[in-house]
């Protein structure tokens, strides 16, 4: 609470005590006695307000009512029979209404430097120059640090912060181990080690262009070799199907099984009878070569 507000309320309570003493017939009072009565009145009002607030909150309300104040006074052991009569007495003193105090405006006493007077070519009836900070350039930025020790210390601090942040990120996104046998593994997490097989392969293979290295290294054949293997497998399947068709008496041809002419097996011509010619071809008879 503001000190000025406390002093104002304390002063009002002092006026109330003095008015009550005047109504009771006293003409003078010592300052210590007035302060004691003021402290007693303040303690009484604070106790009544606290009790009334407790009764208000107990009833489930946020603003106290007159019933809460009555319960607080009864709880403190006060009688409420003559309270209305005392409030309507004839010789009571009414304090004047409080007025809002206007806060005095603080004068601007900030002055940087010494004001300069007018040069000889400027008349004296013109306004004076403002403060020097209004038209004199002053650096507002910090000079860069060029000391070797400060730069090394800053670089070490940045490196430590980066490593710490990276460690926390890996601990939050990956598997971790805990030092304590509790369900909450967020305290002092340890990054779990993942074993590689084989362990020396990471030192032999270059890592400058590999983004996601695999743990299991399987050497795949080249596309040409893979295509040849597929062709050989298809050829074997075609031969097996042809043999099965021949054994079962089926009339399916090899062309129906394999559509690609480059994958068909070679055909062996049938045995030719000597002395016969193929229709449409001229027979050529070779004479023996005379030496």
Confidence of residue 220 (pLDDT cuts 50, 70, 90): low
- The confidence score (pLDDT) of residue 254 equals 46
Render pLDDT for 100-151 as a digit per residue (tens, 0 to 9): 777 777 666 666 677 788 888 999 889 888 877 777 776 677 778 888 999 9
> Is the confidence at residue 186, as pLDDT, over 90?
no
Q: Please give the domain boundaries of the chain with CATH numbers for all domains.
A: 8-88 (1.10.20.10), 137-204 (no CATH)
The per-residue pLDDT for range 83-107, each reduced to its tens digit, is 888 888 887 888 777 777 777 776 6
Q: How many CB atoms lie within 10 A of CB 258?
A: 19
- Rounded Cα distance between 190 and 176, Å, is 5
Task: State how far the Cα of 152 lies from the Cα of 219, in Å rounded to an integer.
Answer: 47
The per-residue pLDDT for 291 is 43
Phi then psi for 177, rounded to 5 degrees?
Answer: -115, 155
Residues present in the chain in total:
291
Q: Of the segments 39-53, 101-115, 170-184, 227-241, which one has the largest average pLDDT value?
A: 39-53
In angstroms and rounded to an integer, the radius of gyration of the C-alpha atoms of the chain is 55
Segment (H or E) for 166: helix 148-173
Question: Would you tell me the crossing angle of helices 31-58 and 66-75 to the nearest 10 degrees?
Answer: 120
Confidence of residue 216 (pLDDT cuts 50, 70, 90): low
- Count the Cβ atoms, other than its own, within 10 Å of residue 42: 15
User: Distance between CA atoms of 7 and 10, rounded to whole angstroms?
Assistant: 5
For the stretch 190-211, pLDDT in tens is 777 777 677 777 777 776 655 5
Q: With cut-offs at 50, 70 and 90, classify the pLDDT of residue 81.
A: confident
Residue 198: cis peptide before it, omega within 30 degrees of 0: yes
């Amino acid at each position: 609470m503001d000190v000025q507000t406390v002093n104002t309320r304390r002063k009002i309570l002092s006026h109330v005590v003095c008015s009550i003493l005047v109504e009771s017939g006293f003409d003078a009072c010592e300052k210590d006695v007035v302060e004691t009565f003021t402290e007693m009145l303040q303690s009484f009002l604070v106790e009544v307000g606290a009790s009334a607030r407790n009764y208000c909150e107990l009833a489930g309300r946020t603003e106290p009512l007159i019933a809460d104040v009555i319960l607080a006074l009864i709880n403190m052991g006060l009688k409420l029979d003559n309270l209305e009569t005392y409030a309507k007495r004839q010789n009571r003193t009414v304090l004047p209404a409080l007025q809002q105090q206007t806060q005095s405006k603080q004068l601007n006493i900030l002055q940087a430097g010494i004001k300069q007077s007018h040069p000889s070519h400027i008349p004296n009836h013109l306004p004076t120059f403002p403060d020097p900070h209004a038209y004199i350039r002053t650096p507002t930025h910090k000079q860069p640090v060029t000391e070797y020790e400060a730069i090394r210390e800053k670089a070490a601090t940045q490196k430590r912060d980066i490593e710490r942040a990276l460690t926390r990120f890996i601990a939050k996104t990956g598997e971790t181990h805990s030092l304590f046998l509790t369900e909450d593994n967020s305290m002092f997490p340890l990054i779990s080690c993942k074993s590689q097989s084989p362990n020396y392969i990471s030192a032999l293979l270059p890592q400058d262009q590999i983004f996601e290295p695999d743990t299991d290294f399987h050497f795949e054949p080249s596309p040409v070799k893979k295509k040849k293997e597929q062709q050989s497998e298809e050829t074997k399947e075609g031969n097996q199907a042809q043999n099965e068709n021949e054994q079962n008496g089926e009339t399916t041809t090899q062309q129906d099984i394999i559509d690609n002419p480059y994958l068909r097996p070679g055909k062996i011509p049938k045995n030719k009878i000597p002395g016969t010619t193929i229709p449409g071809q001229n027979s050529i008879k070779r004479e023996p070569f005379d030496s």
